[in-house]
Chain A
Amino acid sequence: MTPLLEVKHLSIDFKLNDQIIPILKDISFTLNKGETLGIVGESGSGKTVTVQSILRLIPKPPLYRISGEIWFKQQDLLQLPLSDLRRIRGQKIAYIFQEPMTALNPVLTIGEQISEMLKEHQKIKGSDLKEKVIELLYETGIPSPELRVNNYPHELSGGMRQRAMIAMALSCDPEILLADEPTTALDVTIQAQILDLFQKIARDRGMAVIFVTHDLSVIAEIANQVLVMKSGTIMDYGDIFTVFDHPTSDYTKQLLAFI
């Protein structure tokens, strides 16, 4: 079976104050259909840059040089013209940000924001549109979705906002969901609910998920594969049980000791 996504020898350098700083050094991993890959590391380890580079979301500057290959459906995403890449962003690969309050538009209701996605990518119109939005909000566990569609982001709690973000990401039925610390800002009870939701989505839709977090116990809860990163390099990579039971690097051993 060819993997859904294959990252080969990805290296990234940033240029800050005329200094070239290596951010990622030779990162390789694969993601299969229906699999959840957890990327874990401390702040500054390069985990966010890794997932952002898949959709080429890193601004230039600070981006200076990027090398390697990212294969998705016989296409190298790093070589793809921007117009083709736009058809993949959101539609085939969706991205969920850490802080939903800054990622959502504060002057549009969540209903309008999800409709925008459906109109742009799925060409859904009229009454079907509203129905589909409510259906998506319902799937992500927002209570009374027919009322919530008319709420602005500030009227929702942190957990609800994150659910709305997930609904938006699901709107185009993507094949891969990239989630960058989606539960870090939430209470432990709400985090547990959102993690349950991710597992349900991955199972029901057969979706592949890359889940970035600094919390190894969140990984223990939901991932099948783990990638442990430190200073832009891979410390450990493999099946979750293998990494948890037989970590190869001292760094992973240390992280495991903290939880």
Chain B
Amino acid sequence: MVSSNPVLSISSLIKHYPIKSGVLKRTTGTVNVINGIDFTIQPGQTVGLVGESGCGKSTLAKLIMGLELPTDGSILVNGQNIANLSPTEKRSYYQKVQMIFQDPFSSLNPRLKVEDIIGEMLTIRGVSKAEAQLQVLKILQSVELEGDVLKKYPHQFSGGQRQRIAIARALIVNPAFLIADEPVSALDLSLQAKTLQIMQDLKSKYNLTMLLISHDLKTTAEFCNEIAVMYLGSIVEVIQGDQLINNCQHPYTQALINSIPVTHPSQRQKNKFRISGEIPSPINIPSGCAFHKRCPKKSSICEREIPQLSLMTGNHSVACFNVNSGFE
């Protein structure tokens, strides 16, 4: 799987937001949202990013999209550093990288018809209107929408249909890399399955490289080749999707998996492995391992030193001091 030309390559990425207070707006603290992330995605791979809300998943997506600038570190997409793109380069960058947002009700312009929402992506790049319309029809078919939707406005659609319009809009420029930020979490259960199925089909059809951000571990594990688990701005475990449920090693990942409700009442267990408390504020990150305050398996070293993501086997890396010291 290892190739020398990853689509996305992030190294020592840091994003801190200053907290300003008082009349003089002096910086009185920082919100440490991303604290040193190293991460690559190879062509054709689908990588899932999971973690609790507030762990920095969406900030990472915004950084990759160039919607926010990193405090430190670099993001390379196809070898090109996105921090210093000129406005013209930025336009061609968005030809390669596209994003699907969580909420299909706010991410589509309510005053534009579907043909313009999707077609705008092409006409802006100099494609003629007639040609654009042909392509829009084609892409709508691949997301299982009929041609008669062209003249309709977003409010005339259900949530699931809107999210498919958003997918069509992202895919019409034929991007090499797609970021999907919780694309199905706003949808009903039966629609989630259908939307994911469409995305799965498109993934193979367009040979997409994808970053799927989600808090739903089960679907992410099924959908993605690889899963990165994030906690307070750091990646704590990277594991193959099919290994996640049964073979994860980091206590945080295990706690996440144990928190998934059972699928049959007979699987209920007493005294499950649970983590207590909530994710700490990114303003005051605990010393050492950020997870040690909630970790049931911590030892004294966890309070002093920050564990680094280290390779265990094949494609599985974990950032935890206690992983090799013989717990279950």
Contacts A42-B189, A187-B215; is A217 near B263 (CB within 8 Å)?
yes
A203-238 vs B: 1/0 string, CB under 8 Å? 000000000001101101101000000000000000
Chain A neighbourhood of B279, CB < 8 A: 187
How far, in whole Å, are A223 and B268 apart by their CA atoms in the complex?
A: 11
Instruction: Tell me if A's interface is mostly helix, strand, loop or mixed.
Output: helix
A192 within 8 A of B: yes
Whether B268 pairs with A221 at a CB distance below 8 angstroms is yes
Nearest CB in chain B to that of A213: its residue:
B261
Chain B neighbourhood of A215, CB < 8 A: 189, 261
Contacts A188-B215, A189-B255, A192-B259; is A220 near B264 (CB within 8 Å)?
yes
A127 within 8 A of B: no
Give residues of chain B (248-298) contacting chain A, Cβ–Cβ below 8 Å: 255-256, 258-268, 272, 274-279
Range for the number of chain B residues in contact with chain A: 20 to 34
How far apart are A188's CB and chain B's nearest CB, in angstroms?
A: 5
Q: Which residues of A contact B (CB under 8 A)?
A: 42-43, 143, 157, 159-160, 187-193, 195-196, 214-215, 217-218, 220-221, 223, 240-241, 244, 254-255, 258-259
Whether A187 pairs with B263 at a CB distance below 8 angstroms is no
Whether B278 pairs with A258 at a CB distance below 8 angstroms is no
How far apart are B231's CB and chain A's nearest CB, in angstroms?
A: 11
Whether A258 pairs with B189 at a CB distance below 8 angstroms is yes
Give the 5 A-B CB pairs with smallest separation, nearest first.
Answer: A192-B259, A217-B261, A221-B261, A187-B52, A188-B259
How far apart are B218's CB and chain A's nearest CB, in angstroms?
A: 9
Whether B53 pairs with A191 at a CB distance below 8 angstroms is no
How far, in whole Å, are A162 and B189 apart by their CA atoms in the complex?
A: 23
CB<8 Å pairs between A and B, sample of 12: A187-B52, A188-B260, A189-B275, A192-B274, A195-B261, A214-B189, A217-B260, A217-B262, A220-B261, A221-B262, A255-B189, A258-B189
* Residue of A143, A188, A217, A221 contacting most chain B CB atoms (<10 Å): A188
B217 within 8 A of A: yes
Contacts A188-B256, A190-B278; is A258 near B265 (CB within 8 Å)?
no
Nearest CB in chain B to that of A193: its residue:
B274
Chain A neighbourhood of B265, CB < 8 A: 220-221, 223, 240-241, 244
Whether B267 pairs with A189 at a CB distance below 8 angstroms is no
Whether A42 pairs with B261 at a CB distance below 8 angstroms is no
Contacts A42-B190, A159-B278, A241-B266; is A189 near B259 (CB within 8 Å)?
yes
Whether B193 pairs with A258 at a CB distance below 8 angstroms is yes
Chain B neighbourhood of A220, CB < 8 A: 261-265, 267-268
- Select which of A193, A218, A241 is within 8 A of B261 by beta carbon: A218
How far apart are B191's CB and chain A's nearest CB, in angstroms?
A: 9
